[in-house]
Structure 1
């Protein structure tokens, strides 16, 4: 088990460049299975979850070549479908939530796709119905082995159809789109997810020869094609990491510049942090956060009532940053209600923050009220464990702002989503040490 040792209470300074987006990488890497031609992808983050998916592709017979840091070429001209029914795949596939998105491309190109029940963060129920209902609508037959928790879909031919998704699932939409691009006829997907990373996936597929319209909206139309070709694609910077660095700057009262953020893809993220009183300055495509020597004050609604920050499908505020917002609020001036609508276990990490001295009332599994300290009472360092990626980095930010030494165990959870986070924080002046 990996461990971070952090000496807190130090102001940081400097520039940091966000990694490529994890959630986009997990989608676009699966597209390489849709064509026998070479696909080149750059700005791939070097993190555990993405590396696991690349290894799965290798085991499937995809030829993978590392061209440079974050740059790979992939060629799926000799896919080994027998691997899908092996014990090795059943073990390796369930270790990664993103492995579910292998099913759509495999079904579209080879007529069958299998997957063990995927793992990932323990943040609450994350059902797969949207994925498989979409495949069934396209003409696939579904089967499920309850003893082995093993899913399968098969089809001799996929046929385009109209479908109304029961939820705007990002991975569900991505999976269905990747299946529909090679289906016969027209597919219309209503209530589709429209996150920037889903838009990136659709643009990449179009560059491969797909015919997708409505990109950026919740109504996608896909005209099926016979085959797709190769392409080159660059992944966007990770908006969740960008939000994490904004929170880090505020909590440690540091002066930090976040480089090359693709500002126009950030949606509500900058304005949400501004509602917490944090000053952000746009400098070209960079975000500059000055020191906050006098702290930051949470805005109320115009009628004076307490601010609520909640998650919602894009263009709403991403659920992956609510943990960061909650931590930042612990040192704000004022109070805020955090409402995590989408996952019922994501706020349970607040007990560690309470142990550090934060004033948080966990109202129920979905809501927490935070009463800020206004930096008049510093959090104190403790020993804790990272329960998932986003809670883990939130606890890390809290530790960097806290008085004394903190120990964060199970640091592999943080490494699943953040590339070389200890080295990059050290470059800003943080005292963080990796203990193995």
Structure 2
């Protein structure tokens, strides 16, 4: 198993371009199953989770043509539905949470879907209730197979009204894909409205779908009989953009982040500004300024700043790990409140071992006392528990004194494309070793 060896303390410089968005890609790839015609997708990131889903599509019988490193043509005109019940599908899809996205299009087009218990990050409970209940309201029958499958079947899917119990992004996407081919009109209230879901809905409309309310939490889907092929380009990954802003601040570097998709970043830039990080925009680029010290803002009444996750347009939970690690070297105090996943803050013990002043109040809250660079973090050996924590630890290691070893970097590779090579181009001392 590979690991990263990092020598910290180097200032970085240069330009870096965020990869295509991982979370959007997993939804868009699943959507190719909605039509028998060709679908061309570009800006696909070359990461483990995405490559595993592409492999699953190929095993299902989808024809795949790779045009270049980030562009593929998919054609699902001869899908082997029976593969869903095979041991191979069970084994491979169980390692990838994104495999749950296959259920919506398979149910919509073939009226049959099988979902293994999903894999992915170990960040707490990640229930599938929103997906399953939505499918049931469309008319699907649900059962739990003794072999570990969630089994879904329907004679016909019929449009209906539903109020989601939570604005789940993947749940909304799955229901939208099933409803796009259902008979009648489906109304989804309390729907997720993230940019990546907007991208999925816009893509389905270009395929001949009829979805209105895109960008709001009230989606109306008029079902159609068939969908056609289309072309689609994945947005830049907003999580990478935030990660690179934090990286520049922690390493006292000036970095240009190119082609950020700034109009789709929502509140993310503002949250990093609240940490005192100085940056500006030129066109679609973000230029982070070199700073010796950055100071965390307080609330207007003088209270300690709290940053917490919320459904879009609130702050994405995927960047709270980055926010936490960046705050350790700021001047001032911060309370990080991770509402959604009860295990996502458990990587803070590694930062404490590096010298950070953090109090883990409970599984959901961590109080950070910024050191203002008076005491530099020190390099240690640590393990990456999940994708986002892994990159947060990598950023900490790049800013620390001495050598750090980061183990279990497969977690990082699941979500970040060629991260070591891209950081080396900025001047980082990072090596992938066995």
Q: Which residue of 1 aligns with 2:315?
A: 317
Question: How far apart, CA to CA, are the structure 2 residues paired with 1:97 and 1:242?
Answer: 23
> Residue 405 of structure 2 aligns to a residue in which SS?
strand
> Residue 56 of structure 1 aligns to a residue in which SS?
helix
Q: Which residue of 2 aligns with 1:55?
A: 55
Question: How far apart, CA to CA, are the structure 2 residues paired with 1:262 and 1:395?
Answer: 25
> Residue 371 of structure 2 aligns to a residue in which SS?
coil
Q: Which residue of 2 aligns with 1:35?
A: 35
Does 2:357 correspond to 1:381?
A: no
TM superposition shift of 1:422: 0.3
Does 2:307 correspond to 1:274?
A: no
Does 2:297 correspond to 1:299?
A: yes
Q: Which residue of 2 aligns with 1:161?
A: 160
Deviations 1:28-62 (A, max 9, x none): 00011010000000000000000000000000000
Q: Which residue of 1 aligns with 2:67?
A: 67
Q: Which residue of 2 aligns with 1:126?
A: 126
1:370 to 365, 368, 391: 368
Question: How far apart, CA to CA, are the structure 2 residues paired with 1:355 and 1:182?
Answer: 53
Q: Which residue of 1 aligns with 2:398?
A: 400
Question: How far apart, CA to CA, are the structure 2 residues paired with 1:332 and 1:32?
Answer: 45
Question: How far apart, CA to CA, are the structure 1 residues paired with 2:200 and 2:412?
Answer: 25
Structure 1 segments, 4+ long, off by >3 Å, are none
> Residue 334 of structure 1 aligns to a residue in which SS?
strand
> Residue 23 of structure 1 aligns to a residue in which SS?
helix
> Residue 372 of structure 1 aligns to a residue in which SS?
strand
Q: Which residue of 1 aligns with 2:183?
A: 184
Does 2:172 correspond to 1:173?
A: yes
> Residue 382 of structure 2 aligns to a residue in which SS?
strand
> Residue 115 of structure 2 aligns to a residue in which SS?
strand
Question: How far apart, CA to CA, are the structure 2 residues paired with 1:9 and 1:3?
Answer: 19
Q: Which residue of 2 aligns with 1:417?
A: 415
TM superposition shift of 1:244: 0.4
Question: How far apart, CA to CA, are the structure 2 residues paired with 1:390 and 1:92?
Answer: 22
Question: How far apart, CA to CA, are the structure 1 residues paired with 2:103 and 2:129?
Answer: 13
Question: How far apart, CA to CA, are the structure 2 residues paired with 1:432 and 1:211?
Answer: 48
Q: Which residue of 1 aligns with 2:19?
A: 19
Mark the runs of 5 or more structure 2 residues left unpaired by the alignment. Answer: none
Q: Which residue of 1 aligns with 2:148?
A: 149
Deviations 1:119-155 (A, max 9, x none): 000000000000010000000000112x432111101
Question: How far apart, CA to CA, are the structure 2 residues paired with 1:311 and 1:408?
Answer: 26
The number of residue pairs the alignment matches comes to: 434
Q: Which residue of 2 aligns with 1:221?
A: 220
Q: Which residue of 2 aligns with 1:260?
A: 259
Q: Which residue of 2 aligns with 1:103?
A: 103
Question: How far apart, CA to CA, are the structure 2 residues paired with 1:221 and 1:72?
Answer: 30
> Residue 198 of structure 1 aligns to a residue in which SS?
helix
TM-score by length of structure 2 reads: 1.00
CA RMSD of superposed structures (Å): 0.5
Does 2:311 correspond to 1:308?
A: no
Q: Which residue of 2 aligns with 1:361?
A: 359
Does 2:116 correspond to 1:116?
A: yes
Question: How far apart, CA to CA, are the structure 2 residues paired with 1:144 and 1:24?
Answer: 28
Q: Which residue of 2 aligns with 1:284?
A: 283
Question: How far apart, CA to CA, are the structure 2 residues paired with 1:377 and 1:129?
Answer: 46
TM superposition shift of 1:115: 1.4
Q: Which residue of 2 aligns with 1:391?
A: 389
Deviations 1:332-386 (A, max 9, x none): 0000000000000000000000000000000000000000110111000000000
Q: Which residue of 2 aligns with 1:204?
A: 203
Question: How far apart, CA to CA, are the structure 2 residues paired with 1:428 and 1:211?
Answer: 45
Mark the runs of 5 or more structure 1 residues left unpaired by the alignment. Answer: none
TM superposition shift of 1:2: 1.4
> Residue 88 of structure 1 aligns to a residue in which SS?
helix
Question: How far apart, CA to CA, are the structure 1 residues paired with 2:316 and 2:268?
Answer: 8
Question: How far apart, CA to CA, are the structure 2 residues paired with 1:279 and 1:51?
Answer: 36
TM superposition shift of 1:8: 0.2
TM-score by length of structure 1 reads: 0.99
> Residue 39 of structure 2 aligns to a residue in which SS?
strand
Question: How far apart, CA to CA, are the structure 1 residues paired with 2:263 and 2:279?
Answer: 15
